[in-house]
Amino acid sequence: MGSFLFPHFIPSGGAGGLTVLLNYWFSLPMSIGLFIINASMLLIAVHYLGTSSAIGTLVGITGTSIAVNLFEVYVHLSFQNVWIDLFIGSITLGIGVGLLLRQGVSHGGIGILALIISKARRIPPGKPLFLINGVIFIIISYIINWQIVVQAVICQWFSTKIIDWIFHLHVPPNVLSFLQPQFRKK
């Protein structure tokens, strides 16, 4: 997000959209705005998803905010082409969020609401995530620029497809067995 999406003011999702609005209105750094929005959603995670999910979400929120700050300030990977950056940003966003949601935790923000709806309705989390973020994008289009929203919707569509694919990906247990310590029998 910090390298590919935020430099073009493309919101990566609902929390990202609200972060872009905070930056637009108050010149609040993106990483700080993202942390504030995500931390406020943590109370909802504790209530609806339980303490272990909330702790995982807190780790995800903190990691995301630190990574956004590092990439926004120190690492400039952007291709300076909005469409290439949009494509790469959507892929990395989808993979990261998909891996977190697969573990029952969220990267914060609207992902928490999507995970709650997903668990309650037994549906993939990408669909509610897309709908909630769409409403936020409409607000951004009215306040900032409608062209950003077109890019944000493309980003959301592509990344939520990746999220749902990763969420339902079946990995046989023996494929990852090399990650477990092997002890010799005596």
What is residue 12's predicted lDDT score, i.e. its pLDDT?
75
> Minimal CA–CA distance to 43: which of 61, 24, 17, 65?
61
CA distance 117 to 159: 18
Q: What is the pLDDT along the chain (186 residues), one digit of tens a residue?
A: 777 787 777 877 788 888 888 888 999 988 888 888 887 888 777 777 777 777 777 787 787 778 878 887 787 776 778 889 889 989 988 888 888 778 777 667 787 888 888 888 988 877 888 888 888 888 888 888 888 888 888 988 898 899 889 888 877 766 555 555 555 555
What torsion do the CA atoms of 60, 64, 66, 69 make, to the nearest 10 degrees?
-170
CA distance 101 to 45: 13
**Boundaries of every domain in the chain:** 6-166
> Minimal CA–CA distance to 141: which of 149, 133, 131, 152?
149
- Classify residue 52 by burial, with Cβ atoms within 10 Å: 0-12, 13-18, 19+: exposed
What is residue 185's predicted lDDT score, i.e. its pLDDT?
55
pTM: 0.69
CA distance 146 to 15: 18
CA distance 160 to 154: 10
What is residue 162's predicted lDDT score, i.e. its pLDDT?
92
CA-CA-CA-CA torsion sign (58, 59, 64, 65): positive
